[in-house]
Every structure is written in structure tokens, then in C-alpha cells.
Amino acid sequence: MMNEGTKPSTASMRDQDPLRLPIQFVKGVGPRRAAILAKLGIETVSDALFFFPRSYEDCSDLRTVSQLEEGKIQTIIGTIEEIESRTLRGGQSVVGVLIAGEGGYLRAVWFQQPYRRDYFREGQRVMVAGKPRRNGLIWEMAHPRVVHLGDDEEPRLSPLPIYPLTEGIQQWEMRRLIERVVSQYCNHLEEVLPEKILLQQRLMGIHDAVHQIHFPSDHDRLQAARHRFIYEELFVLQLALALKRHHQIAMKRAPVLRLTPKIDARIRRLFPFSLTKAQDHAVAEIAHDLEQPIPMNRLLQGDVGSGKTVVAVYAMLVAVANKHQAVLMAPTEILARQHFQTVDRLLEKSRVRRTLLVGGLPSHERTQILQQIASGEIDLVVGTQAVIQDEVKFHRLGLVVIDEQHKFGVRQRAALKGAGEEPHYLVMTATPIPRTIAMTLFGDLDLTILDESPPGRKPVRTYLATKEQRERWWEFFRKKLREGRQGYVVVPLVEEGDEEIRSVVATCRELSQSELSGFRLGMIQGRMRGEEKDSIMAQFRTGQIDVLVSTSVVEVGIDVPNATLMTIENAERFGLAQLHQ
């Protein structure tokens, strides 16, 4: 029995749960080193067991100095006898370390790395790996890999673990600590994967995997250990998402939105074209989901120009035909207005009541729109983040469509999803970013892919132009403009802030006086007022502007069919998803 305030003994803590034992009570650690380890996130025995190496050194070809030969990566073990640092004529620094090994001496040298001098001390035992070469009577290795060994540390010719470090602890000390923790506490770990899965997937057990991830016997065993932990991580993630999906199916209810042959015929009559086979397939999958009493959670993925908007409009019209409201949310005002123009054009001969809700609307107009949405007088809303503000109340929301869903934060999407009685949920993107891929692969979203473009679409060709090829590209650009085409020039910066990169304003000014002199240039960027952007886009669409110089505000699918050219300046400043768009 223990009195209140009595500090528990190390033994009692170990008996309760050895894996939760504070790291300071492991032999050879203590309070001072525990504070250092805490900077690395190691506070308990369990933390140390799962503090995996960041890399491994291959030191398998161990030789004596007398056995060295040129042209191969080899390893020797020896003791540092001499350290020198000097500056050559011309200012180049050289650090040299003379190592006495079995059968002779080897000199390790580093050029232009004077800080290396502080890494070594005379009498230190080291393992050195690299490609040796003869320099007179002595072997040399330039910029070799060096592993500091403890005085009594046995060298590992198998892959040598290299751990993340912090000030106050050396690599050999970390290896010794981890080795002690693994040998004493690894057997207390419980296997989290069922035996059936271990056998089916031929996975290494938890105890062997921890041993081999830290101190692998060979490369094959190391890969087997890594494979086991990768599988476990993905398995747990998949299980969590499956539970989430089960909760969604079991606990949440959505309106049943039926697609009858009559509704289908009425919707298709509104389109001045036939849907592609891919669009028909997407519509069928979405319609099946809408008829279920559980919320649809589907990702519609298709390249720019594949017809995602038409599929979204079809789904929204199914909701409207079932006397529910639908909302389409876009990440930018430009794209929202473009979507609304597309919707307005397609529904010109319909009785569907629709509106655009974006920031910057006049107060009286906004108030009227909000009242109409709340009373059910509006069937279809297209907007930006303005549609998820607290004051926006839907009368009977049945379907939420979000374009370029990765542009919105989790909370933004959740707010819109909850704006009504659990609406169905459709997200669209032209770029399946890693998070989107993960959600799809592991069950949080169903996936529909538009893998076919409408008739007449030509493939996009992309070129990387070097400085020497710039004039050739601009000549091609001008040739197409003279043929009546339009184009974009996209730059990464709104304002000057980098000596090597021109802003959108400077680029527009310089192009108008050089490569694109004589053509009509317009400029657009995200900081402009809505009316200003609308005016410039209207001029671009109607052909009054030949070239639109812009920031990445054009990234999310602005639709001007005659604009068939795009120049991207400083492309390295954009992400892969942006470049894909």
C-alpha cells in the first residue's frame, strides 16, 4: 500500500505497464539525457521502440587497409591519429583525418567543409566507408561516410541504423540506447494484426519487425520489417475510414431523390448536345446514390474539359425535380460566375429558379436572395464561400456540389454539408491530389472518373522551354494569335518581391512593349474588385482582348474556348496540381 504523495518506485511502474515506463528509468539514461531525448519525442519506452531510423548505412564490405582496392565502396575500422585543417592556394579549405587501421593508414579528406574539423577528436574509433584511391604511398577517401563507434561497440556489417539526433547525443549513443530498449522491452509489445492477416499477407510479427527495423540482419529482412509497418499503418487507416463510413450509413439519413424516365427525358431536352458515354456512366452512378436514403459521398474526377459541370447540373436538376434545393460551390468568384453563366445558359428554357450568391453583392440584393433561399423560392444556388455563412439558411437542401474540393478546408466543406437535412454530397476535381487519392482508396469517397472528352476536343500539348527556346515559343505564340486565337500568360506574383521574378503588372507592361507588342493585352489578379474582373473576363470572352496576363486565379478552369495557348512563367513556383490545371 502506498501513502498519498509517495512517489511510485520504478519497479511498480514497470509492473503496471513496462511500455509506459519513463525513458529516464532505463539503465544509462537518467534525468539529464531524458530531457535531451524529450526533444526528439522520446519520453517513454514505447516512444523509443517506435523511434525508427531515418536511413541506413551499407557497410557490408569490411576490409583491412592492406586489402583495399580502387573503384569499389569499401569499409575500414580504425582510430583517428591526426586531424589537420588547411587552406590551399586559391582559398579552398581542406580537412584531413589520418586513420590507423589494420594493415596501414588511410586519410579521409573533405574539401570546402571546414566545419568537419569539429566532428572528430584524436583517439576516436570510427568506421569509414567510401571509394578509396591511391595517393602516393597512402590510401585516401574523399568525402567518405563516417560512423563514430563506441570504444566497446561491435561494428555492424549489416545495414547500420542512422537516427534523427539533437544536440547533446551522438549516433553511437542513440544506437546503444535503442538496442538496450529493444532487447529488454520489445517482447512486451502486443500484436495488433490478426494472425489470419499475418499469414495471408506473409507479414513479419511485431517482435521480429521491431528488431529488424532497428538492427536488420540484412537488406531483405529490413525490407520485410518496413513492409509490415507500412501495411499496418494503411490497414489501421482503412479500418478507421470503414468505421466512419459505417457510421454514415447506419446513423445518417438523406432525402430520396428518384430519377424517373420522365425526369431524365426532361433534363436531357435542356442540353443542346448528347452526353458522352463517360457522362452517361457518371450520371447513372450518381442517380443510383441519390435514390438511397443515405447521403451520397462521391468524387467526380475528370480532366479539364471532360464535362464535369454538365454532370453536376444533371444531378442538381434531379434534386430540383424532387422538390429539393441544390447548391454548387466554387473556390473563386470568377469560377462561380462562370458556372452560373453555364447553368443559366443550359436552363434558359426551364422553369428552374436559380441565383448567384457571391461576396460583394449590394446589401438589399443579398437580403432578398437570402429570403428567397430560406423560403424555397430559389431552387438552385451557385456561389463561393458566401453560401456557407451562418445567415444562409436553405429551405430543403438535397444536393451539395463542390468544385475543386481540395481548395476548401475541412471545416468549410463540413459547414456546407450540414446546411440542411443531411444533403447528398458530390465533389469534383480535375486534380486528384494525395488527400483525395487517400480518401478514395480507403473508402471515404466513392469514385467516378470521366475518362472521355466530348467530341472535337484535341489533346493538350505541354512543352518546357529553356532560355534559348523562348524566342521560338513567342514566335509560335504570335503566329497563333495572328490566326485569330487567344492566349494566357500566367505568372506567380501579384507584386514585386523577388529580383528574379516579375510581377503580373510588370510582366503585362513588358510584354506589351516587347514579345506581344501590337496585340491587345488585359490583366487580371485576385485582388481586383469583382466588377473589374467581370469586365476584363467579358472582354476576353468576346475577343476584345487577345492575351490575358494573370496570376493563378485562372487555375480553376476558366472557360474561353478560343483561348488555346498558355505561357507559364517561372513554372517552378507553382505546385503540380496548379500546373495540371
Q: Rounded distance, CA 428 to CA 316, Å?
A: 13
Contacts of 532 (CB under 8 A, 6+ apart): none
Q: Rounded distance, CA 70 to CA 358, Å?
A: 70
**Higher-scoring residue by pLDDT: 519, 387:** 519
Q: For residue range 238-292, what is the model confidence (pLDDT) as tens digits?
A: 787 777 777 767 767 889 999 999 999 999 999 988 999 999 999 999 999 999 9
Per-position DSSP letters for 241-260, written without gaps between them: HHHHHHHHHHH---------
Q: Rounded distance, CA 252 to CA 79, Å?
A: 69
Query: Phi and psi for 97 in degrees, rounded to 5?
Result: -125, 120
pLDDT of residue 245: 73
Domain ranges of the chain: 1-55+163-189, 59-158, 190-251, 261-450, 467-580
pLDDT at 88 over 60: yes
Q: Is 204 helix (H, G, I), strand (E, B) or coil?
A: coil
pLDDT at 330 over 90: no
* Reported confidence tier of residue 80, pLDDT bands at 50, 70, 90: very high
* Reported confidence tier of residue 43, pLDDT bands at 50, 70, 90: very high
Q: What average pLDDT does the structure give for the chain? A: 83
Query: Phi and psi for 52 in degrees, rounded to 5?
Result: -80, 150
Query: 261-450 with 467-580: one CATH topology?
Result: yes
* Reported confidence tier of residue 84, pLDDT bands at 50, 70, 90: very high
Q: For residue range 398-448, what is the model confidence (pLDDT) as tens digits?
A: 999 988 754 454 455 455 544 446 889 898 887 655 555 655 554 667 888
**Higher-scoring residue by pLDDT: 421, 236:** 236
pLDDT of residue 527: 73
- Determine the average pLDDT of the residues in 184-203: 93
Is 128 within 8 Å of 106 (Cβ atoms)? Answer: yes
pLDDT of residue 495: 59
> Which of 2.60.40.10, 2.40.50.140, 1.10.1740.10, 3.40.630.10 would CATH assign to domain 59-158?
2.40.50.140
Q: Rounded distance, CA 412 to CA 392, Å?
A: 14
| Fold annotation for 1-55+163-189 | DNA polymerase; domain 1 (1.10.150)
* Reported confidence tier of residue 4, pLDDT bands at 50, 70, 90: very low
pLDDT of residue 571: 74
Is 188 within 8 Å of 80 (Cβ atoms)? Answer: no
Record the cell numbers describing residue 272, joined without a space.
443542346
pLDDT of residue 420: 45
> Which of 3.40.50.300, 3.40.640.10, 3.90.25.10, 3.30.70.330 would CATH assign to domain 261-450?
3.40.50.300
The percentage of residues in the chain with a pLDDT greater than 90, rounded to a whole number, is: 38
Sign of the dihedral defined by the CA atoms of residues 474, 477, 482, 486, in that order: negative
Q: Rounded distance, CA 183 to CA 158, Å?
A: 18
pLDDT of residue 17: 84
- Determine the average pLDDT of the residues in 158-184: 87
Q: Rounded distance, CA 323 to CA 401, Å?
A: 17
Per-position DSSP letters for 3-27, written without gaps between them: -TTPPPPHHHHHHH-GGGSBGGGST
**Higher-scoring residue by pLDDT: 427, 8:** 427
* Reported confidence tier of residue 371, pLDDT bands at 50, 70, 90: very high
pLDDT of residue 1: 40
Three-state SS for 477-519 is HHHHHHCCCEEEEECCECCCCECCECEHHHHHHHHHHCCCCCC
Q: For residue range 513-544, what is the model confidence (pLDDT) as tens digits?
A: 888 888 998 888 767 776 777 788 888 888 89
CATH class of 467-580: alpha beta
pLDDT of residue 414: 54
